[in-house]
Amino acid sequence: MTTTKNIQILSKPTNTKIAIQGVNVLTSDGWLEDTTVLIEDGQFTSIDQASSPNGFHLVNAQGLQMLPGIIDLHGDAFERMICPRPGVNFPLPIAIADNDRNLLASGITTFYCSITDSYEPGLRSRDSARTLIDFILGAGKQVLNCNHRIHIRHEEANIAGHQELCDWMVSGRVHILSINDHLPPPGNQKRLSRYLNSVRQRSSMSIEEIEKLVNQVTKRRHEGDVQIEQLVDLAHTYGIPLASHDDDTPEKVILSQKRRVAIAEFPATVDLAAQSREYGAAVIMGAPNLVRGGSHLGLMSVAEAVKNNVIDCLCSDYHYPSLFYAPFKLQELGLMSFEQAWSLVSSRPAEAAGISDQKGKIAPGLDADFLLISPDNPFPSAITALAVGIASVYVTGQEVARYHIK
């Protein structure tokens, strides 16, 4: 289902009035069966069980289900498209265009490209971030079908080029800003070893060179404190959602609250997630955590978060297909109804990112981003989703990918 050989990238139709007929639609009020959905100029205009439109391009969707397109607030699997092996990079247009096809194959119609702005050389450097942003917001608009937005993951210890990052925020080139701190704390050998191995996998640096870099950056990390507060102020001034990352102590959650963080990414425990939600942050966790059966770092599981009602959104994190499978898995495990679970990948991420007036639901006035899926029952299991899956993907009313369904 997710291989590119099964994908058809379709030419854009000239008719901007489309009627999807006979489809079962997941709305915010539940399912509507055998429904006609009207789309004009890229937006939903009507969801009507009795409509018989004139002048519309008709699409027969009998037996299919229509789901709101998936909104991925945090995904960095594109890094492996650029750098599939340490020190081996592919041209950016090829990598990001191929990544776009992978997004569509996973039902993702709005993607916040999570670009790390780090002190590291290579893939996660400022130069790499700049090149990615320039392509996605420039020439990429002509070739990318998924709606791309920019999520900057700024490392607190990266003090270089501060004014450039500020300029990006002021000019509207940043759509989510998350504050990250992946620098290993002094004396924590376990964190240091894990970090050294992580950097080694995405660069051609030796372990000795990486360790030297970590020592150099650690000595100057305090110089970034004032810069971080300036970035936080800019985010609020320009309406950019602010995210914390990996809060693992009550003190870090208190700091996030002081900064008026809107999105708490991957809090470490149930209590910390609850603390984040209490001050108004949306808690986001990775779908691979659920699909794999737990956190790869041994922290709070998605299943545990759902059972304790401390989760608002799911994201792809490092694996796009998991975001499509996760709602089916939640329903299969009896943790949520499918309708509730799908909101974790559609309407609730839209709310967290401040775009619920544009995306996230199948409703008049919103962008017509949706999936047509071909289930063999009303609420397919994760295995059924794998076997049957997505028939078509639409972004702003355009069918951008179609898949062979057995």
9-19 residue pLDDT tens: 454 555 589 99
Supply the pTM of this predicted model: 0.92
Query: What is the structure's pLDDT at 380?
Result: 42
CA atoms of 140 and 125, how far apart (whole Å): 20
Q: What is the pLDDT of residue 297?
A: 73
8 Å CB contact between 152 and 177: yes
pLDDT for 3 equals 39
**Residue in the block written with tokens 């009207």:** 38
Is there a contact between 76 and 116 (Cβ–Cβ < 8 Å)?
yes
pLDDT < 70 positions in the chain: 1-15, 51, 376-388, 406
pLDDT of residue 14: 53
In DSSP terms, 108 is beta-bridged to 70
Q: What is the pLDDT of residue 69?
A: 98
Rounded CA-CA distance 351/106 in Å is: 21
Answer for the pair 245, 283: CB distance below 8 angstroms, yes or no.
no
Q: What is the pLDDT of residue 344?
A: 98
* DSSP-derived secondary structure letter, 88: B
pLDDT for 197 equals 82
Cα 141 to Cα 30: distance, rounded to the nearest angstrom = 34
Question: How much is the pLDDT for 6?
Answer: 47
Give which of 70, 10, 148 is closest to 320, Cα–Cα.
70
pLDDT (0 to 100) of residue 5: 37
* Per-residue pLDDT at 50: 74
Find, among 337, 235, 326, the residue nearest to 286 by Cα.
326
So what's the pLDDT on residue 185?
Answer: 77
